[in-house]
Amino acid sequence: MTMRLTAIYFLFLLSIPSFRSAAQTNPQPTQKRIAEKKPIMLMNRIGPSTSDLYVANADGTGERKLLPTNTFDYHASFSADGQWVVFTSERNGDGQADIYRVHPDGTGLEQLTDSPALDDQATLSPDGSQLAFVSTRQQRTANIWILDLRTRKLRNLTGQPGITGQPNKPDGYFRPAWSPDGKWLAFASDRNTEWKGHGNGSGWEHVQELRIYLLKPDGTGLRKISTDSVSSGAPKWSPDGKRVVFYEIPVEGTWNARTSFGAAKATSQIVSVDVSSGQRIVHTTGPGLKLVPQFVGADVIGFLAKAGPNEGVGYTSGTAFKGKLRSPAWSADGKQVIYEKQGWIHRTQNQKLYSWDAEHEYRYTDVFPSFSVDGKLLLTEKNDNSSIAVMDANGANKKRIFDANAGEAFSPAWSPDGQRVIFGYGGYLQKRKTIAARLILANRDGTGLKDLTDGLPNAGFPSWSPNGQQVVYRVWGNDQHGLRIMTLTDQSVQVLTTEYDNMPDWSPDGEKILFTRKHDGNNFDIFTITPDGKNLNQLTTLPTNDAHAVWTDDGKRILWNSGEYGFKEEAALSDNTFQPYGVICIMNADGTNKRPLTDSLWEDSMPRYVPENAGQ
């Protein structure tokens, strides 16, 4: 089974880039103003809510904003002659990334790429005639593309036979860097590695094994210059073109490095390799997460110190300056550095996002959204303290109906008549190992709380039967796993499954239960089963983790999250995220006609269509 896009959708993604002044209007196909009101898909996003570029002297003094506007810009780099800065911007829509360039004084802003796909991590060739960048166009995976700035011709450098990796394995290409003579590109790739969960393969989220490769701009001469069994990323050339410098981190460390709770514990080192002899030099020692290195002279290397007490910019000479910044890149003379500063203030409920679907408008939501029969939105306030709230479909008239002051209130669900809600309360995710969790039933206003389970085994993620008489939920712990069905009149429990199953969702017609199963070691896929425990049907089959599935209201389609297209950025460079490769997808109820609905750099999840009867 595969979800690779073909035909019309490929043509939609393959937009030929053109130069555009930032003052020109540039509507994307799905962003054109349409008189009629579009239906809405709510979705959650884990990623920064703002990002601005700053230029400073190499010692951190003289800091100034590159551009006066707040337009969500990141991943900048200087041209070799210092006349341009190229960068990624989402100014055309929250989540939709294109490449721009501007002079270092903020003048002459130009748009260089124009595609609904993700375009990112750009760098100009030494003579300024070509742009190498990462894009998900055509194949939806992260490949390195080259744009000729004179002819505007575009070509996929890494998505070619002999370079593309084996099917169903990671196959991303990241952080291209031109050699000083323009004859080679260095980049990082996880091609031909394995999908592996953190915790020595036990975790749901994947680690990333990266290697450094060299390749000529014509697509020949591919060779690897880093070692296996570690993750090596963000390569840059020495000024004389003899060495390539990069960071090196244990593969397991790519999990900690991208989380809020693990980054300060992760350690990496800065390494360079002689491209002719293969001689390695390790330039740093000791603890700390040291990333995105760059030669700022013949002997000194600058790098990002991510997290910890010394967070900011460091140099192998021993100097440094502190700051909450990301992706530093230096001018060729080493005198200036450009970087971004991100904001992580939560997006507002129903904030508009970029839509890759011409038929729907996308809007942000907090987690586990669901709608009552009369159109009220119910969700978990993960952006606050994981309490339960009810509001209008447009986010107005919000009311907290359960205060989660001693745990997490996850996955609330409406009864079919809209008069009651059920949810799990206690410890979930990693906390489930040490904190019990139970099912709680309540009236729609939060009164009449009633425990349905006692906390052991850990119970959660409930879904009502359409007749309102039963709920299906998952259990974990005390040597019990799988799905259970409870009859609410007497609280009797029927064992539905005993495998490592989660996130059940009862179909609107009552005939099937949708869920995620861990199987074959550590792979997660989408299944359906009938309520009598029969007719098990697997809907996804790739080794990339598919999960978090929900029915559409008519029961004809399924929304879910997939990791099929892999990482779009080096994992260690992401922040505060778990699955930065997560993409929202949709398929028919029988598993056919799979297609993705998002294509951002960030972790997108929790899709839910707003019902037609709900006020928007």
Average pLDDT on 211-230 reads: 98
Mean pLDDT value of segment 217-234: 98
Per-residue tokens: 295 = 């030669």
How many other CB atoms are found less than 10 A from the CB of residue 50? 14
CB-based burial label for 399 (10 Å; 0-12, 13-18, 19+): exposed
H helices present in 391-495, as ranges: none
Residue 72 has pLDDT above 80, yes or no: yes
Which pLDDT score is estimated for 41? Answer: 98
Find out whether the peptide bond into 457 is cis, omega within 30 degrees of 0.
yes
Per-residue pLDDT, 27: 36
Q: How confident is the model at residue 28 (pLDDT cuts 50, 70, 90)?
A: very low
Tell me how far CA of residue 607 lies from CA of 42, 386, 426, 464, in angstroms.
6, 18, 24, 18
**pLDDT-derived band of residue 104, with 50, 70 and 90 as boundaries?**
very high
| Residue whose C-alpha is closest to residue 339's, from 300, 283, 294, 272 | 294
pLDDT in tens, 406-465: 999 999 999 999 999 999 999 998 888 888 999 999 999 999 999 999 989 999 999 999
Write out pLDDT tens, residues 535-591: 999 999 999 999 999 999 999 999 999 999 999 999 999 999 999 999 999 999 999
Average pLDDT score over the chain: 93
Contacts of 128 (CB under 8 A, 6+ apart): 79, 80, 81, 83, 84, 149
CA–chain centroid gap for 237, Å, is 28
pLDDT in tens, 116-168: 999 999 999 999 999 999 999 999 999 999 999 999 999 999 999 999 999 99
Query: Which has more confidence, 589 or 19?
Result: 589
Kindly indicate the confidence band of residue 8, based on its pLDDT and cuts at 50, 70 and 90: very low
The three state secondary structure string of 121-170 is EEEECCCCCEEEEEECCCCCCCEEEEEECCCCCEEECCCCCCCCCCCCCC
User: Strand 437-443 to strand 387-391: parallel, antiparallel, or no bridges (unpaired)?
Assistant: unpaired
CA atoms of 407 and 190, how far apart (whole Å): 38
Check whether 273 has a pLDDT greater than 50: yes
Q: Which is nearest to 207 in space by CA: 264, 162, 266?
A: 266
Q: What pLDDT, on a 0 to 100 scale, did the predictor assign at position 616?
A: 58
Could you tell me how many residues make up the chain?
616
Q: Tokens standing for 430? A: 């990693």
Structure tokens at 597: 């609905």
Residue 20 scores a pLDDT above 90 = no
Q: Which residues of 495-510 are buried (b: 16+ CB within 10 A; e: fewer)?
A: ebbeeebbbbbbbeee
Report pLDDT for 613. Answer: 83
State residue 210's pLDDT score.
Answer: 98
**Amino acid 36: pLDDT:** 67
Judged against a pLDDT cut of 50, whether residue 13 lies above it is answered with no
**C-alpha R_g of the chain:** 25
pLDDT given for residue 46 in this prediction: 96
Residue 275 in contact with residue 281, Cβ under 8 Å? no
Three-state secondary structure call for residue 242: coil
Residue 178 pairs in a beta bridge with: 185
